[in-house]
Structures are given as structure tokens and as C-alpha cells.
A and B are shown apart, each in its own frame.
Chain A
């Protein structure tokens, strides 16, 4: 199965800052990479699909890029509600697999 490795595990930042989250796949997954946000006590929420497409209702400060094995999620200016855990997921090959998550916390 494809292993996704996210880095860093935790980021401590302040509102207004820009941040980049990384997701690396153990093999080529083209652009079949999805990002989710999970706020405390909530279910994951779709942010980005196919590496760079924002889901409906997702603010423009979220953007995704990458292909092959290396992917990034960029949040251009952090809002208080963005402090959460972010997961990547590959949909290239079954079984679908997830990264271990990056926790974004307020500094």
C-alpha cells in the first residue's frame, strides 16, 4: 500500500502568518492527492482534491500543489479557525491511505 508521510508533525504559528504543509507519497500518485481539515471534536472536512482543486466553500487562502510524490498545502494568512489538524489522502490506488496528520497550533 502507498504510505503518505506528512511533515512537520506539529507547527506553532500565529494568526496572519503563512504556512506550508508537506505530504510525501511512497510512490508516484500523479495528482490523486486530497487534503482534509479536522478541527477539534469535528469530522474531517474536504479542502483540496486532485492536489490543487479547492472544494466548494473553501476560502482562497488555501491552495494545494504538487504531483508525483511531493505535495504541499499552503495557507496564505492564518485565521483563528485554521488551527486544526490537516490530513492528506491518496486516491490513486486501493487501499486509500492517509497521512498521519500535521497539527497546526497557535503560538
Chain B
């Protein structure tokens, strides 16, 4: 079955960087884009953007440019989210979520990874 398994929780200091991995299995990796979403405490879910798993081309939603980088390693069917220069406001659960349909991007999501909590505090 399709599975997305994310890396574990992270506790970071402001200004540090973090990389979250999303290991996939059970489907042809290149056929489905990968999306990244954020759920900050008390806030609604936010779509951060997506990456084309065939070409590696990322698309970032407004507000997630500059410090946020999506990448892939097709050899291990894994997607990554890197956040640099962390701020306390980046404290949130970050989800990877596969595009529900092949060769589509930024549409709807199925399934989701289990989420990675990133806490940023001095």
C-alpha cells in the first residue's frame, strides 16, 4: 500500500536550519507530485507548495519563498523540505502529502505523511 513516512520531531534554535524527509513506498514515485503543508498551533492548514517528482521542479506558495526548499532523491523515493534561518513562527507540524492524481500538481492530497513537529525556541 502507499505509504509516506516522515522523519521525527525536531527542536531547533532560531537561526538554525532543519530538513524533513518524507520516505515513500508503494507507488511509482515519479508519477505523483509531492506537496508540503504546514499546521501551526491554532492556525488552519496552509499549503506551502509542491514539487514535480518527475522533473524536480518546485512551486512555492506565497509566503513560502526564500527560506523553504523542496527537493527529491529519486534513488530512495524520498522528498525533502528544508527550512533555513528558522524563526519561532515556524513552529508547526509539517506534512508531506502526495498528489491524489498522476501527473497533476497542487490539487488534492492522498495520502499524507504522519507529520513532523518542528519546534523553534531559544
Contact = CB atoms under 8 A, between A and B. Distances in A.
Interface string B40-76: 0000111100000000000001100000000000000
Interface in A52-107: 55, 87, 89, 91, 94-101
Interface residues of A, number: 20
Interface residues of B, number: 19
Interface string B100-114: 100000111111111
Interface of A: 34, 36, 42-46, 49, 55, 87, 89, 91, 94-101
Given A44-B95, A49-B108, A89-B108, 14 more contacts: A43-B95, A43-B113, A43-B114, A44-B45, A44-B109, A46-B110, A55-B100, A87-B44, A89-B45, A95-B62, A97-B47, A99-B44, A100-B44, A101-B44
